[in-house]
Amino acid sequence: MQTVDVNSITDYIAGTFENKDDQRASEVMIKLIQALHNYIREVNLTHAEWDAALQFLRAVGDKTTDHRDEFMLLSDVTGATSLVDILAGLTSPEATAASPRGPYYLPNAPLVEQGALICREDEPGTPAIFKGRVIDLQGRAIKGALLDIWHNADSGLYSNEDESQDDINNRGRIHTDENGEFRVRTIRPRPYPIPMDGPVGAMMTAFGRSPWRSAHFHIIVSADGYEPITTELFFSDCEYIDTDAVAGVRSSLVHQPIYATTERGKTLIVDHQFCLRK
């Protein structure tokens, strides 16, 4: 007979996850059980607290649809998304750092030419030129890389949560040219609160956490033969740069805003070099 007590229960359960055919799966699950049990012992978790936790997770599931991933939002605000990103980048620190994708990506943004306007002609906000280059780890230009760019409007809203914007507004996909370069015209993104109308928002409110994300461009960069990277670019003068709700800010992704005068008036110039690994 094998009975369990407050400590031996951990080996009792963890041992059932031994799997000779998949050592990695074993490691991931056994360590998870150990971390969970250690946590329960450490905080001396009560019935009421564990019930609340399970109800919370149930609410996260209930809120999740094809268009709303409350589990991803939970991963984002707990720092799990960013920590996995940071870990993945440690092996090649010269490559562009990853940052959360967020809930507002839409596939099939318009494919545009160099210099294209990816917002409306009369888009409210600060005009911006977003340009740069895509290189490999050896510093060689990658031509034909694809940048999938999206960001919010001056109202703070992304096109897919705003009736007054076309779905494709503030979105575009552009290939790099012979020199690995790209250039689009748009507006400066604005700070934005994470979606607060679900259980994750209720948790943020309960702990007095700030829902604000530092203003950002979203970019997915991909090229044949390279690892695609989902990332963001930030601005050092944003009031939320040090308090981003999802810990998405990396120093290599922060731009000191530079302005130039163009045909659209005072224009933010963001010039960024992206680096992909094989």
Angle, CA of 201, 202 and 207, to the nearest 5°: 100
Q: Which of 33, 70, 75, 104 binds ligand MBD (CB under 6 A)?
A: 104
For the bound state, the minimum distance from the C-beta of residue 206 to ligand MBD, rounded and expressed in Å, comes to 18
Cβ pair 149, 174 in contact under 8 A: yes
- Measured from the CB atom, the residue of 119 and 223 that comes closer to Fe ion is 119
What percent of the chain is helix, strand and coil (3-state, nearest 5)?
A: 30, 25, 45
Q: Which among 270, 237, 268 has a CA at the least distance from the CA of 128?
A: 268
Q: What is the largest CA-CA distance in the chain?
A: 82
Q: Which does 246 bind (CB under 5 to 8 A by kind): ligand MBD, Fe ion, none?
A: ligand MBD
d(CA 117, CA 104): 20
DSSP 8-state secondary structure symbol assigned to residue 68? B
- Measured from the CB atom, the residue of 107 and 265 that comes closer to ligand MBD is 107
Angle, CA of 233, 239 and 245, to the nearest 5°: 65
- Site stretch for ligand MBD (CB under 6 A), options 11-19, 63-71, 96-104, 167-175: 96-104
d(CA 107, CA 115): 21
For the bound state, the minimum distance from the C-beta of residue 161 to ligand MBD, rounded and expressed in Å, comes to 10
Q: Which of 171, 188, 213, 272 binds ligand MBD (CB under 6 A)?
A: 213
Q: Does 74 bind ligand MBD (CB under 6 A)?
A: no
Q: Does 100 bind ligand MBD (CB under 6 A)?
A: yes
- Site stretch for Fe ion (CB under 5 A), options 100-108, 128-136, 238-246, 248-256: 100-108
For the bound state, the minimum distance from the C-beta of residue 217 to ligand MBD, rounded and expressed in Å, comes to 10
For the bound state, the minimum distance from the C-beta of residue 194 to Fe ion, rounded and expressed in Å, comes to 9
Phi, psi of 43 (to 5 degrees): -95, 0
Q: Which of 194, 204, 219, 229 binds ligand MBD (CB under 6 A)?
A: 194
For the bound state, the minimum distance from the C-beta of residue 142 to Fe ion, rounded and expressed in Å, comes to 25
Q: Which among 277, 221, 247 has a CA at the least distance from the CA of 83?
A: 247
Q: Which of 103, 125, 156, 191 binds ligand MBD (CB under 6 A)?
A: 103
Burial 97-107 (b: 16+ CB within 10 A, else e): bbbbbbbbeee
DSSP 8-state secondary structure symbol assigned to residue 209? -
For the bound state, the minimum distance from the C-beta of residue 186 to Fe ion, rounded and expressed in Å, comes to 14
- Distance, C-alpha 118 to centroid of its chain: 21
- Measured from the CB atom, the residue of 105 and 259 that comes closer to ligand MBD is 105
- Site stretch for Fe ion (CB under 5 A), options 73-81, 85-93, 96-104, 233-241: 96-104
- Measured from the CB atom, the residue of 104 and 130 that comes closer to ligand MBD is 104
d(CA 200, CA 86): 23
Q: Which of 63, 99, 101, 102 binds Fe ion (CB under 5 A)?
A: 102
- Distance, C-alpha 225 to centroid of its chain: 23
173, amino acid identity: R
| Residue ranges binding Fe ion (CB under 5 A) | 102
| Residue ranges binding ligand MBD (CB under 6 A) | 76, 100, 102-104, 192, 194, 213, 246
